Amino acid sequence: MTDKKLVLASQSPRRQQLLAQLGYQFAIQISDIDESVQQSEQAADYVVRLATEKAKAVFSTLSSFTQAQSLVLGSDTCVVINNAILGKPADLADCIYTLSLLSGKKHQVLTAIAVVTADKIVTKLVTTDVQFKVLSVAEMTAYWHTGEPQDKAGSYAIQGIGGQFVTSMTGSYSAVVGLPLYETAELLKTMGLPSAIQQN
């Protein structure tokens, strides 16, 4: 029995569901951080920084007694094509612009996870290649009106209606959805919190 407590620093229902899939018991606490990209920041540095900031922001709200026994997990996902970082769409025009960039092309989905404890911060970056079919403006517009792209990096959800845009994928499906299952279980194990079926 471990006395360690796991806290997920995410309001994303996908991340909550994926972490629960590993069999972990955890609390959810939400942070509010500035998600703007810094000048000349590379996508890999950006997602690792945001995952870390989300976890650190929640960790800082805990009492020192709770901090001593907590692991706070933060995560961030962005879509990258031709060095452009694509976050969530602001409106229909932004969604069509984003999906036009992805149409008929291969892009990368970067997801970083960060675990913050009282004595260390550990991070892991996962990159997945996703190939899209060619999309028409009518299709992109209809997709926006389903309501699905609004809170998704790159304006699509592979796990939803947007899954039909994906012709192939190399890497981690769960990372594209928001939390890489293999890497999360491995990282938490190294931090002394094995999943339900892992051996210590």
Q: What is the DSSP letter of 36?
A: P
Span of 37-45, 117-125, 151-159, 192-200 interacting with ligand TTP by CB under 6 A: 151-159
The total number of residues shown for the chain amounts to 200
| Position 98 contacts ligand TTP (CB under 6 A) | no
Largest CA distance in the chain: 55
Please report how close the Cβ of residue 197 comes to ligand TTP at its closest, in angstroms: 25
Q: Where are the alpha helices (DSSP H) in the chain?
A: 13-21, 43-59, 64-68, 92-102, 137-144, 173-177, 181-190
Q: Write out the two tokens for 87.
A: 């976050």
Among 154, 174, 180, 193, binds ligand TTP (CB under 6 A): 154
Among 80, 95, 113, 176, binds ligand TTP (CB under 6 A): 176
Total residues in contact with ligand TTP, by rule CB under 6 A: 22
Q: What are the two backbone dihedrals, phi and then psi, of residue 146, each rounded to the nearest 5 degrees?
A: -75, -20
Please report how close the Cβ of residue 126 comes to ligand TTP at its closest, in angstroms: 12
| Position 14 contacts ligand TTP (CB under 6 A) | yes
List the catalytic residues.
76
